Amino acid sequence: MKIITDPKRMQATSEFLGKQNKTIGFVPTMGALHKGHLKLVKEAKKSCDIVIVSIFVNPTQFGPKEDFKKYPRNIKRDIALLKKEEVDILFYPGVKAMYPDGNKTFIEVKDLGNKLCGASRPGHFNGVTTVVAKLFNIVKPDIAFFGEKDFQQQAIIKKMVKDLNFDVIIKTIPTVREIDGLAKSSRNRYLSKDERIAAVLLSKSLKKAKRLIQKGEKNAKTVKTEIIRTLRNPQLKIDHVSICDPDTFDDKNTIKGPTLIALAVFCGKTRLIDNILIKN
Which lies closer to ligand AMP via its Cβ, residue 30 or residue 48? 30
Which lies closer to ligand AMP via its Cβ, residue 115 or residue 149? 149
State which of positions 33-62 bind ligand AMP (CB under 6 A).
36-37, 39-40
- Residue 175 touches ligand AMP, criterion: CB under 6 A: yes
Which lies closer to ligand AMP via its Cβ, residue 14 or residue 61? 61
- Residue 270 touches ligand AMP, criterion: CB under 6 A: no
- Residue 113 touches ligand AMP, criterion: CB under 6 A: no
Q: Which stretch binds ligand AMP (CB under 6 A): 29-37, 95-103, 195-203, 243-251?
A: 29-37
- Residue 78 touches ligand AMP, criterion: CB under 6 A: no
Looking at 124, 140, 149, 252, which residue binds ligand AMP (CB under 6 A)?
149
Our answer to whether residue 34 is catalytic in this structure is: no
SS3 labels along the chain: CEEECCHHHHHHHHHHHHHCCCCEEEEEECCCCCHHHHHHHHHHHHHCCEEEEEECCCHHHCCCCCCCCCCCCCHHHHHHHHHHCCCCEEECCCHHHHCECECCCCCCCCCHHHCCHHHHCCCHHHHHHHHHHHHHHHHCCCEEEEEHHHHHHHHHHHHHHHHCCCCCEEEEECCCECCCCCECCHHHHHCCHHHHHHHHHHHHHHHHHHHHHHCCCCEHHHHHHHHHHHCCCCCEEEEEEEEECCCCCCECCECCCCEEEEEEEEECCEEEEEEEEECC
Looking at 185, 203, 270, 275, which residue binds ligand AMP (CB under 6 A)?
185
- Residue 176 touches ligand AMP, criterion: CB under 6 A: yes
- Residue 147 touches ligand AMP, criterion: CB under 6 A: yes
Can you give the binding site for ligand AMP, defined by CB under 6 A?
A: 29-30, 36-37, 39-40, 146-147, 149-150, 173, 175-176, 183-186
